[in-house]
Each structure stands twice: as structure tokens, then as C-alpha cells.
Structure 1
């Protein structure tokens, strides 16, 4: 895996998100009220809504289009809905955040 620095945790508001464009597509990086950071693909498995624009509550985000709730830990839809998005590893080193991308490593091989 290749780790890419994406900025400082303070650049993401509590219970908010930031969208990062990568060679693997858009990645939504979320900060919970407890200062935990998660990253998932920035599209709802339902109709592709921008999860980075959703409402963060606990360790989940609600899609702004049709109110699907997606776990930030697993990427899976919660409740009766089915579907999932890929989760992206996140590293917090003294507040500096990095995400791990697989395709960059594969391209370098």
C-alpha cells in the first residue's frame, strides 16, 4: 500500500467530512464527534449519492439523497438496506492524516 498525506485532522470539522480526489476515485474522509477518522468511497451504494455531503452521526453517515445509513467502520448499509462501499485505511500521525491506496502500489510494480 502507498500512504498519501491528505492534510491535518483540524481541516475536517467535527461530525463532518472532506472529499479527496485520488486515482482510485473520490474518497470521503470523515471525522466523528469523538475525533475518530474514517475513509470510504464517496458514493452511496444505492444511487451514488455523495456521502461526503451526508450527516455524520456516531460511526455512520446518512446519504443526503435517500437517507441510506452507511457504517463508517465497515462501509456496509445499515438497517434493512443492502449494499456497501469500500473502506480505505486511515493513519493519524500526530494529527496529520494519510490514506492508503492500493492502485498506486500496483502501478509502481
Structure 2
């Protein structure tokens, strides 16, 4: 059974925005779409290390602010001609609060 970490209220992240959440296992970029879906990814673009939380959220994608690489918020895969992937983390909204899967975060930090 997963243990979930409460990280913020959904309203703490603007629609089509993101925040960096510092956990004991490291920093995670948490995104909110226009339809109130939440996704969590590694914050660093594999291309040049751009801060994805500062990118533009459109649909279920984010565009890196440094070189315009576009990543799926659902899979972490680069879209279009670019190749690469960023790690994703299970995230959910429960009772208006955003939660991340603690066991998955721990497993990622150990990898």
C-alpha cells in the first residue's frame, strides 16, 4: 500500500503553472494543468539542465525555458524531433490537496 506525502493545496499552484517541492528525497517539479490535473517530474531538463518548473505548461505538456524542448507531463518523454526523457512521479489530488507517492520518491532517490 502506498504512503502519500501531502505537499500543498491544489490552489497553491496556479492553473498552467508549477512549483518546485523540496522533499527529503530531493526536489520535484509539480505541475497543474488548466483542467486541474497534477503531474510531478524531475525538475531538470536532460538537454541542458533547464528548470522545467519555470517552463510553459500547455495541455499535458511543458516546454523547457532554455531551449524549448517539449515534454509530456504524463510520460516525461520529449515530444517532436527532440529525444530524451525526464523522470515522473505518481501524484494525485485528494481532498483538494496534492500528494506524492513516498515509496516511489524513495525508490527514485536510491537509483
- TM value normalised by structure 2: 0.88
Unpaired segments ≥5 residues, structure 1: none
RMSD: 1.9
User: In structure 2, what is the Cα distance between the partners aligned to 1:60 and 1:16?
Assistant: 11
1:1-109 map, 5 Å: 1-101=2-102, 102=104, 104=106
Greater alpha carbon shift after TM alignment, 95-104 vs 3-12: 95-104
3-state SS, counterpart of residue 78 of structure 2: coil
Number of residue-to-residue matches in the alignment:
107
User: In structure 2, what is the Cα distance between the partners aligned to 1:50 and 1:99?
Assistant: 20
- TM value normalised by structure 1: 0.90
User: In structure 2, what is the Cα distance between the partners aligned to 1:65 and 1:55?
Assistant: 11
